[in-house]
Structure 1
């Protein structure tokens, strides 16, 4: 694995480039952009998948989203869907500069919100020749189910306050502990698993801060990751979901993407007995997913 960086506008995006065993820089390889979930960083599930893709003979690039982790950009902790998609385009730009990458064999893989971003990028970014998603979620659908009108009013009030000198409002993505969640009456399957992954030694990383700039919420509500997929998402597509269904909605979103995509070569694969976060790092679930993903990219790139 190599530490790399590339530019998005006027800041650096921090990445890890995973190389196959017995890598030969004189050869040309297929390469995959690996896109992490919201609140995540490259060292977590995106890095896990990137490492395994490299073991399957593919170049893989995992990176921190702009404004987050080790990447640059201000304001910090902003989750801006348009910039997340532009990060992917810039990652493709970077891959095309590497002499050992075959520019006609670049793919994308995204997990959770990263799956939605990867799908959205692929709708218009035709240098991406094949796409795989793992428990992909559509931010627009998810946030529109939780009183979006009131949230938009709250964002408007906060922007006015900040324009007049108030400090930026930073929220947690998720509660910091199961106890905190239970005290707030938030005992839902996916949320409990999110806490177990992000806020315990299981998946916790110091660069994954659990901080979200509150004024990001209007962009998240308005961003439909699958917009125009029925017209322009024509590349080969593999969608991985789990059948333990929680409130985050990746099971529904997986079928929504599958049904919408214009691709003539598309497949949805269900990992039996797996929940959303099992497909982040649990060996049985991730191994089964990768048994589909690696051959998919090998065959379509």
Structure 2
């Protein structure tokens, strides 16, 4: 049996037609299966999964986004984008990378070492040194792409990765401009407690406990990992959570931002490194490269950004997003000031 196509007037056998339909359906199904982000794929970008090593030999996994009208013969400005602390590239970092690609940049969102789809054992370790290195590894990768101008590479850090991006930039002069959003200084947080309320006695007690935990980890052959967010998205916030924990639960544990690879907490003894490794001790040396600090008006974390802004040297700029909480700068595309970021990086990387 043969069918005549009304569109072309060509005669097509049913076998060929069925094969074509089946092929298209399989391709569509595979595309749906491979797209595992918390946001939809834009029709204005080209997406590609990539991997590359950091200087410790750990394989970093990233999503690369390029403009839809990408021309491989041209040289593009590029951005390396880190995740919120405990998050993965399929969440907020991917939203930033995709949106900046829509605006003409080549952008990668990556999973930190030991987390997400990146390599490294044991899993869910957190390291201020290696997480800063992962930004520089992203610069290694981007700067060796034939379509990237290696003199036009910037970095964006969200939440905890804001501190890691700044740490990397303090010594990696290849990072020409930096933007942070809802920044957390994780070293300050772990060493000094929330809003710097930890006493010396409390710190000593924590360090004693972590020392004991190291012995337990050694004997067990694996580090203790605190319970994380549920593997399946929940519909409500548990009763009794404090306001900050409730906010993170809303994003990581509910449909809004839940992803099965985003565990949340890191191995307990990871905190020791942060308590011994300041992130922003040389922030003023980033100058004359510019820094754009972005924070929500109602963010519980805004004191980290305000203090980092004061410590940084010119050129620097502070943007306060009206009404925004900490997590709103993860995924609220109606609140994240992408116009400002496009303007900032276009000028800094021209």
Could you tell me which residue of structure 1 aligns to residue 48 of structure 2?
A: 2
Identify which of 269, 273, 277 aligns with 1:223: 277
Q: How does 1:167-186 map to 2 (within 5 A)?
A: 167-172=222-227, 180=238, 182=240, 186=241
CA distance, structure 1, for counterparts of residue 179 and residue 284 of structure 2: 17
Measure the CA separation in 2 of the matches of 1:100 and 1:243: 38
- Normalising by structure 2, we get a TM-score of 0.79
CA distance in structure 2 between the aligned counterparts of 1:20 and 1:114, rounded to whole angstroms:
24
Is the partner of 1:155 in helix, strand or coil?
helix
Alignment of 1:129-278 (within 5 A): 129-143=176-190, 144-145=192-193, 146=198, 147-165=202-220, 167-172=222-227, 180=238, 182=240, 186-188=241-243, 190-246=244-300, 249=301, 251-262=302-313, 264-278=314-328
State the alpha-carbon separation in 1 of the partners of residues 131 and 252 from structure 2.
20
CA RMSD in angstroms comes to: 1.8
Residues in 1 aligned to 2:229 and 2:263: alpha-carbon distance in whole angstroms: 11
Instruction: State the structure with more CA Rg.
Output: 2
Report the Cα distance in structure 2 between the residues aligned to 1:151 and 1:295, rounded to whole angstroms. 44
Q: Secondary structure at the match of 2:207?
A: helix
Q: For 1:4-37, what per-residue CA distance to the aligned partner results, in whole angstroms no more than 9, with x for missing partners?
A: 0000222311110110120001000000000111
CA deviation digits over 1:120-173, x for unaligned, max 9? 111111000001000111012222215433222111001112223464211145
TM-score (norm 1): 0.92
Q: CA deviation at 1:230?
A: 2.2
- Once residues 229 and 220 of structure 2 are traced to their aligned partners in structure 1, the CA distance between those partners, rounded to angstroms, is 27
Residues 287, 315 of structure 2: 8 Å contact kept: no
Would you say the 8 A contact 2:67–2:106 is kept in 1?
yes
The answer to whether 1:299 aligns with 2:330 is no
* Aligned match for 2:98, one of 51, 62, 87: 51
**Rounded Cα–Cα distance in structure 1 between residues aligned with 2:160 and 2:239:** 22
Deviations, residues 177-216 of structure 1 (Å, cap 9, x unaligned)? 765561xxx412x321110100011101111123411110
Q: Return 5+ residue gaps in structure 1 as ranges.
A: none
